[in-house]
């Protein structure tokens, strides 16, 4: 609402009120019944107009205080009607409306005072809203800088300030509580997050009513965060949110699909597999028909439905669902691809298609070998299921024993077996790795020492995974120190151009760089994808790794040979404000353009990373000044 309109409404309310009241006071000595009758008429009309204008203004979605004020201003028209009645009655006693100038003066003064007070309050509220948005942005930056406690304190302080200025029952403190709750979700403090969402929910229900979409959104956040809530209660709350969403957004909105997904999860926790199936089928159906469907959401819900089918002993339905997801597998994250393969293994096993199941297990092993590492809970089962295939090149059943010992880190058994088969130290198994590479993968230092003592080489590079690269990729620090001293050079490049620093950049552990101490370390090595270690660290959002590489002299403006993107482009695209700020302060070019002709700011805007866009724009202005 504009200041001019607000002032006009205040003056209208105040002046009309004093015109009526002073007229009633002027008429009262001559005819009390007439004066009271005019006042009652005005009051009745005021109540009627207010009663019918309030819901009409509420439809605009404006703040509650503005809606009430606009309704009161509309109802104040009744004051003029009351004044006309007073003037009509006063004419019988030959009374002129001589109170009008006084009423106008008093009304103008009294109207200006609350208007000025309101403007001060609105300015204070607007300033606080801006400050809160800045606090949210700053907390994200602090989280990127690995300072979670400072980020939490920033949001807590903002919430407290909002409650002081707006009061406890206001939409802004509710939003501040939600922002703090989302921080707690991101940092895995789920019960604290649930408390914040519950607090915001009670405020929003009171101010917006239970049928508002924002209420259903907060309700879902609360249920999703509260792990201690009874499943039956959680299902009831989610169904309540579902009704609101379906009424307000339509039956095929993506938000409705995600609500059905959560209902399915909760019903599965209650061991109600059939009800869970119905909810997940509904979710999947909505996502397929949604105009803005997310492949990630569709894939995730499909996997959950497949698991339910396996629980219900319906492997054919599971296989049919998985077949519908096959085209989207390659676009998913490695964790989701692994889950897909695990469900495929179980499904094919139920269908007695053992060979196909083993093929999926082999795919899963290769995914773990190159993408996910040895710490995944499913690794042991996959490893044991693939031993026969792994050891085929050895042409000896005893090779299984070697691989079992390698997995468990049993260096004594390995030494005993290698005394009889010393040639096995150089044999590549079906995956393309030898025993030394697998020992590096698992992080078994004594095993590595045993293999090196038997003559294994750390410098033989026949694939993309030399031992030093494997230790760097999976952050085995003691192994890195050992292998870096054994290798002929720490600038060990694979045929695809990958450097050990590329592997460090993949996992983001900046401490690993301390173990690569060569003075001639190729800090800007370029792999077959056109990436330097710095480009890779920026793309993956590893702040400490990016800062460490910059500190070691990495070129902040070296672009990818494939995309033409600089490190700043990569940081801008993923929305990592702290990395972008580091790059800019160390000479990152704001006007660099990639092969699509986009600057970092334009790329960030395209990816809807507004905080990075604002950062780049503000720093660009500073550079021009």
Q: pLDDT at position 359, please? A: 93
**Largest alpha-carbon pair distance within the chain?**
130
Q: What is the dihedral of CA 183, 186, 191, 196, to 10 degrees?
A: 30
Q: pLDDT at position 622, please? A: 62
Cα separation of 5 and 122, whole Å? 14
Please, which contacts does 181-190 make with residues 24 or more away whose CB atoms are closer than 8 Å?
181/221, 181/225, 182/221, 183/139, 183/143, 183/151, 183/152, 183/155, 184/225, 185/221, 185/225, 186/143, 187/143, 187/148, 187/152, 190/225, 190/226, 190/227
Cα separation of 603 and 573, whole Å? 6
Q: pLDDT at position 420, please? A: 86
Q: pLDDT at position 211, please? A: 81
Q: Is 36 left (phi over 0), alpha (psi -120 to 50) or beta?
A: alpha
Cα separation of 176 and 155, whole Å? 8
Cα separation of 212 and 209, whole Å? 6
Distances (CA, A) of 78 to 45, 85, 525: 5, 11, 80
Q: Which of 111, 117, 115 is nearest to 3 (CA)?
A: 115
Which helix (H) or strand (E) is 493 found in, with range?
A: none
Cα separation of 54 and 68, whole Å? 7
Cα separation of 265 and 287, whole Å? 16
Cα separation of 305 and 302, whole Å? 5
Residue burial 440-454, b: 16+ Cβ < 10 Å; e: rest: bbbbbbebbebbbeb
Q: pLDDT at position 239, please? A: 87
Residue found under tokens 């468990």: 408
- Side-chain half-sphere CA neighbours of 215 within 13 A: 19
> pTM for the full model?
0.75
Length of the chain: 625
Taking each continuous run of H as one helix and of E as one strand, the counts in the chain are 31, 0
Q: pLDDT at position 62, please? A: 67
Q: What angle do helix axes 334-350 and 354-367 make, rounded to 10 degrees? A: 160
Q: Which residues contact 325 (CB under 8 A, 6 or more apart)?
A: 298, 299, 302, 303, 340
Cβ-contact 79, 19 below 8 angstroms: yes
Name residues of the chain where pLDDT drops below 50: 625
- Side-chain half-sphere CA neighbours of 159 within 13 A: 20
């Amino acid at each position: 609402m504009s200041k001019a309109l607000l002032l006009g409404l205040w003056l209208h309310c105040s002046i009309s009120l004093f015109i009526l009241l002073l007229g009633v006071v002027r008429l009262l000595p001559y005819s009390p019944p007439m004066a009271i009758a005019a006042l009652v008429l005005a009051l009745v009309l005021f109540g009627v107009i207010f009663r019918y204008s309030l819901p009409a203004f509420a439809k605009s979605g404006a703040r509650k205080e503005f809606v009430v004020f606009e309704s009161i201003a509309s109802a104040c028209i009744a004051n003029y009607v009351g004044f006309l009645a007073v003037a009509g009655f006063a004419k019988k006693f030959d009374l002129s409306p001589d109170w009008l100038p006084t009423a106008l003066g008093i009304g103008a003064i009294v109207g200006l005072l609350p208007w000025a007070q309101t403007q001060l309050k609105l300015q204070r509220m607007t300033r606080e809203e801006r400050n809160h948005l800045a606090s949210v942005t700053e907390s994200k930056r602090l989280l990127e800088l690995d300072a979670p406690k400072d980020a939490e304190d920033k949001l807590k302080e903002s919430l407290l300030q909002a409650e002081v200025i707006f009061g406890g029952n206001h939409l802004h403190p509710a939003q501040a509580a939600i922002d703090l709750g989302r921080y707690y979700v991101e940092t895995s403090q789920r019960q604290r997050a649930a408390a914040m969402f519950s607090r915001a929910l009670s405020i929003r229900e009171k101010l917006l009513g239970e049928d508002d979409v924002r209420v259903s959104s907060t309700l879902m956040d609360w249920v999703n965060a509260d792990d201690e809530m009874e499943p039956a209660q959680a299902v009831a709350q989610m169904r309540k949110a579902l009704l609101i969403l379906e009424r307000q957004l339509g039956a095929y909105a993506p938000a409705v699909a995600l609500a059905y997904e959560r209902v399915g999860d909760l019903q599965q926790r209650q061991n109600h597999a059939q009800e869970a199936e119905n909810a997940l089928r509904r979710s999947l159906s909505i996502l397929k028909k949604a105009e803005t469907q997310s492949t990630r959401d569709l894939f995730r819900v499909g996997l959950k439905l497949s698991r339910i089918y396996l629980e219900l002993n319906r492997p054919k339905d599971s296989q049919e669902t998985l077949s519908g997801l096959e085209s989207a597998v390659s676009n998913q994250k490695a964790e989701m691809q692994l889950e897909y393969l695990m469900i495929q293994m179980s499904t094919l096993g139920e269908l007695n298609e053992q060979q196909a199941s083993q093929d999926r297990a082999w795919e899963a092993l290769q995914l773990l070998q190159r993408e996910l590492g040895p710490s995944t809970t499913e690794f042991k089962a996959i490893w044991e299921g693939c031993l026969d295939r792994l050891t085929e090149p050895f042409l000896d059943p005893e090779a299984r024993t070697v691989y079992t010992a390698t997995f468990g880190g049993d260096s004594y058994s390995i030494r005993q077996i290698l005394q009889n088969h010393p040639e096995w130290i150089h044999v590549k198994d079906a995956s393309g790795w030898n025993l030394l590479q697998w020992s590096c993968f698992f992080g078994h230092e004594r095993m590595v020492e045993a293999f090196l003592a038997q003559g294994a080489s750390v410098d033989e590079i026949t694939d993309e995974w030399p031992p030093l690269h494997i230790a760097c990729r999976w952050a085995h620090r003691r192994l890195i120190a050992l292998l870096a001293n054994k290798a002929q050079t720490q600038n060990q490049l694979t045929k695809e151009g990958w450097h050990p620093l590329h592997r460090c950049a993949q996992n983001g552990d900046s401490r690993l760089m301390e173990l690569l101490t060569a003075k001639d370390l190729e800090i800007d090595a370029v792999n077959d994808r056109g990436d330097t270690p710095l480009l890779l660290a920026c793309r993956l959002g590893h702040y400490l790794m990016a800062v460490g590489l910059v500190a070691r002299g990495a070129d902040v403006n070296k672009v990818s040979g494939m995309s033409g993107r600089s490190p700043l482009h990569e940081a801008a695209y993923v929305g990592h404000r702290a990395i972008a700020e580091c790059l800019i302060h160390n000479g990152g070019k704001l006007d660099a353009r990639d092969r699509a002709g986009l600057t970092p700011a334009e790329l960030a805007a395209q990816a809807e990373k507004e905080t990075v866009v604002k950062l780049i724009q503000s720093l660009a202005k500073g550079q021009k000044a």
